[in-house]
Structure 1
């Protein structure tokens, strides 16, 4: 799949087909053909170049961003939503966003959408407001060999320190 940013997002027939194809009440659709859209928009396209999903990132104050994702009804359950969500999270993290959130409106598939987001790391209340912390991907390098450990220097094994360091949870009950 291909992830393409829309430079000047407008409401069009493709968005109407995909976003309008969601269950009634899932989205608030107050746009006419050609209306400019708020936020940053991307499209997910299949190998043939057909639009199969959309993602929107709307950055608010306080370091959070609301996300919208919609998948072509004929392409659901095929990984498109996970593709869109993953890319939205990367876009948000790359902008220094702390959290992405989604408000699930009342509609026939509300519980399915809620559970789908929870499985992907979102947390929140039962009223449909779900959030997820996003952080930039930073690969952690490792050395080729483990650090040396010398018993003769007085080092103690984990859980055996006299001060600070590791605490053995089995020895410290609350």
Structure 2
């Protein structure tokens, strides 16, 4: 006997299914803070696929120390993306990059959500991103950030408020990446954030001339902005 045709799924069912798939994919990701971020083979691999014009062309040396705060997203022990954050006058400037072969699996939204949580837990007001004028997909990338709650400012930056704990940030609402309420950190993370706030307050944001061991990172410099391949991302 032939099976009867299955009725077409409605929009809510299709959306729910997509959320479940995305949640299952991102649940296998791990967020790892790098205490001593340096240029290495994993960064070379991830940033190699970033189109020309997105970041300044800067030659990096293996083992070179990188500025500000870095995290990596791992799947099964393999680095698939990076997040970068710098405290700027009570706000957080951010960068995210995803390995070419992992784009389209929600990794970018996972990284963005985690960066928002990091900023909110530090008591910062906004997360900021600048899409450089030379970006080959500037309009599309700007639209992607706007869909994730960012708004354009008069000076051309993209900004999203995360300072209020009641706002939707992170990965905790209906399995949708980039949404959900920021969860209060546990005791261990709270202590780490307190230490990070003290360290950030004491750290100069401008690198002195000639300080070879702490040059600003080309991908992720405060004036560089972030990159997401919007066309190939499926969130």
TMscore range, shorter length: 0.7 to 0.9
Matches within 5 A, 1:119-130: 119-125=147-153, 128-130=156-158
Gap regions ≥5 residues in structure 2:
1-28, 166-181, 185-235
Alignment root-mean-square deviation, CA: 1.8
CA contact (8 A) 2:153 2:159 kept: no
CA contact (8 A) 1:19 1:27 kept: no
Equivalent residue for 1:42?
71
* Structure-2 separation of matches of 1:29 and 1:84: 24
What TM-score, normalized by structure 1, do the two folds share? 0.73
Q: 1:32 to 1:138 in 2, by over 3 A?
A: closer
Matched, 1:52 2:77: no
Equivalent residue for 2:119?
92
Q: More helix by proportion, 1 or 2?
A: 2
CA contact (8 A) 1:101 1:130 kept: yes
Q: 1:19 to 1:78 in 2, by over 3 A?
A: same
Matches within 5 A, 1:139-150: none
1:127-166 deviation per Cα after TM superposition (whole angstroms, max 9, x unaligned):
7511111133368xxxxxxxxxxxxxxxxxxxxxxxxxxx
Equivalent residue for 2:101?
74
**Match of 2:145, SS?**
helix
Structure number with greater Rg is 1
* Structure-1 separation of matches of 2:30 and 2:81: 10
Aligned length: 137
Matched, 1:21 2:76: no
Q: Relative contact order, CA 8 A, sep 6+: which one is greater?
A: 2
What TM-score, normalized by structure 2, do the two folds share? 0.55
Gap regions ≥5 residues in structure 1:
140-174
